Amino acid sequence: MAFYNRKRNQRFLVWNGLMFFAIVMLKYISRECDLEDILYKTGHLRNRYCRDQFFRSMNLSSEDQGHCSSIIRGDQEAIAQTRLDKLIAKNKKVMKSEKDYLNLTKDCSLYKKTQKFISVPLSKDEADFPITYSMVIHANVEMFERLLRTIYTPQNIYCVHVDEKSPEVFKEAVRAIASCFENVFVASRLEKVVYASWSRVQADLNCMEDLLKSAVPWRYLLNTCGTDFPIKTNAEIVRALKVLNRKNSLESEKPSVIKTQRWQFHHQINNHMIRTNIQKSPPPISSPIFSGNAYFVVNRGFVRTIFENPDVQRLLEWGKDTYSPDEYLWATLYRMPGMPGSVPYNDKFQLSDMTSVTRLVKWSYLEGDTKKGAPYPPCTGAHRHSVCVYGAGDLHWMLQHHHLFANKFDPSVDDYAIRCLEEYLRHRALYGDLL
């Protein structure tokens, strides 16, 4: 009998021990999560619980999350369904107005919570590697907010240049959004931006000057416009920048004969750029002029040298009456001797938009059958200025590339493309895997 009593007592003690352990663990994992919990190593029980809790609070998934997963995988039936859905009036995207944002941002804490901005660095690597952004916008405040939310982390710095010509209510709404964040601000000087004019360069230069004054020890500057959207998470961007190892990355190639005319003649601004017959003097630098695009990924030393190097300053002054100077200036500085992170202007260092990391763009005249040598398949959205405004059918192709951002996106053309990309990136940022 004593033997059976001992066995029963042992079972009782084991059961009590297990219950006590379960209660302790339940209290442990159910207490409020903090920054340290979220930054624990991935396999930690506490971390998994906190990540799950955090993901639920930051979830951007809509009712059709499974639909987005199919679209991301390139499922043609799911992509075809989005085209049908866009034809149904009740499915058409209703954009928030400037007044909506003026009301939403009256309570910043509530605004950031309801709009689900990430409030903590998601890893130590990201926390230790702050990035800065120059964001040049002129319209569509909701698209600006969605772009900002997707690239936002509290350790980064965001300078927003709003076109001086934009309606006052738009500028007011952008300032209201920026005022809710310590690390987001509107540029101290605003330009009236005219397409293909120097003002587009000056907008980025104004943000560069402001960002250099920041006490945050940022490593790289990336620029965006209102139709850009990332195709990598902040963690992936940080990893890509570390691989660059202080080098810059941007399109830089020998210009065609037609493109050289952009800086060989004086241009005037009359609501748009007009070429005159007045020839300009040669560029005031000894290295060649290269062509590229408006987008760059450049290190802090490169940005600082722009304002300190006399040769660069002369080139900037010389370029103020040229056509689309943003499409040759950055490309030229990237190959200019003495610029931090630059590469030689030898032919060995030609870099196309498809090989740099800055921006994935589909030009209409280069689309075609990739099996027959085309650089990319046809656009599934629409075209604007010969550039593809992406549709949902472009996402699977897009996410196979190494670029950090893609251009162009427009919710009035295809909101599924943006919505599914938002969901994909948020899930990947939190869990590091696919939907």
Q: What is the pLDDT of residues 229-270, one digit of tens each?
A: 999 999 999 999 999 999 999 999 999 999 999 999 999 998
Which of helix, strand or coil describes residue 294?
coil
Mean pLDDT value across residues 290-297: 98
For the annotated catalytic residues, the residue numbers are: 327
At 64 the pLDDT is: 62
Task: pLDDT band for 45, please (50, 70, 90 cuts).
Answer: low
Which range is least confidently modeled, 85-89, 94-98, 143-147, 380-384? 85-89
Is residue 412 located within the same domain as residue 367?
yes
Count the neighbouring beta carbons within 10 Å of the beta carbon of residue 199. Answer: 20
At 2 the pLDDT is 54
Q: What is the pLDDT at residue 14?
A: 52
Residue 375 covered by a domain? yes
Closest CA to 414 of 428, 427, 395, 396: 395
> How does residue 24 score in pLDDT terms, banded at 50, 70 and 90?
very low
Confidence of residue 171 (pLDDT cuts 50, 70, 90): very high
Asked whether residue 425 falls in the same domain as residue 377, the answer is yes
What is the arithmetic mean of pLDDT over 281-309?
98
Indicate whether 25 and 66 sit together in one domain: no
> How many domains does the chain fold into?
2
In a shared domain, residues 379 and 432: yes
Q: In this predicted structure, what is the pLDDT of residue 59?
A: 84
Q: How high is the pLDDT of residue 30?
A: 46
Place of tokens 């969605």: 146
Q: Is residue 80 part of a domain?
A: yes
Domain that holds residue 367: 62-92+359-402+404-435
Per-residue confidence at 9, pLDDT binned at 50, 70, 90?
Answer: low
Work out the average pLDDT over 285-305: 98
pLDDT higher than 90, residue 27: no
pLDDT (0 to 100) of residue 46: 60
Judged against a pLDDT cut of 90, whether residue 51 lies above it is answered with no
The percent of residues in the chain predicted with pLDDT above 70, rounded, is: 87
What is the pLDDT at residue 23?
A: 41
150 alpha-carbon distance from chain centroid: 7
User: What's residue 26's pLDDT?
Assistant: 41
The answer to whether residues 136 and 147 touch, using CB atoms and an 8 Å cutoff, is no
pLDDT at 330 over 80: yes
In terms of pLDDT, which residue wins out, 225 or 6? 225
DSSP assignment string, 258-272: HHHHHHHEEEEESSS
Q: Is the pLDDT of residue 13 over 60?
A: no
Segment among 37-46, 150-159, 295-304, 330-339 with least mean pLDDT: 37-46
- 22 and 77 fall within a common domain: no
Place of tokens 């209703």: 94
User: Cβ atoms within 10 A of the Cβ of 99, count?
Assistant: 12
Q: What amino acid is encoded at 231 in this protein?
A: I
Distance between CA atoms of residues 128 and 101, nearest Å: 32
Distance from C-alpha of 142 to C-alpha of 151, rounded to nearest angstrom: 14
Within-domain flag for 21: yes
Residue 40 lies in a domain: no
Would you state the pLDDT for residue 55? 76
H or E segment at 299?
A: strand 297-299
Q: Residue 210 is inside which H or E element, if any? A: helix 198-212
Q: State whether 26 and 66 are in the same domain.
A: no
Tell me which DSSP letter residue 230 carries.
E
- Given a cut of 50, whether residue 399 has pLDDT beyond it is yes
What is the per-residue pLDDT for 94?
A: 87
Asked whether residue 423 is domain-assigned, the answer is yes
For range 39-48, the mean pLDDT: 56
Angle at 422 between CA 418 and CA 427, to 5 degrees: 155
Instruction: Calculate mean pLDDT across residues 311-323.
Output: 98
Say yes or no: 86 and 17 in one domain.
no
pLDDT at 36 over 80: no
**Is 429 part of a structural domain of the chain?**
yes
The pLDDT confidence band at residue 186, using thresholds 50, 70 and 90, is very high
* Res 52 pLDDT > 90: no
Tell me, yes or no, whether 427 and 377 share the same domain: yes
Q: Is the pLDDT of residue 141 over 80?
A: yes
- Residue 39: pLDDT above 80? no
* pLDDT given for residue 56 in this prediction: 80
Mean pLDDT of the chain: 91
2 within some domain = yes
pLDDT at 62: 65
Mean pLDDT, rounded, for 294-306:
98
Q: Domain for residue 433, yes or no?
A: yes
Res. 136: pLDDT tops 60: yes
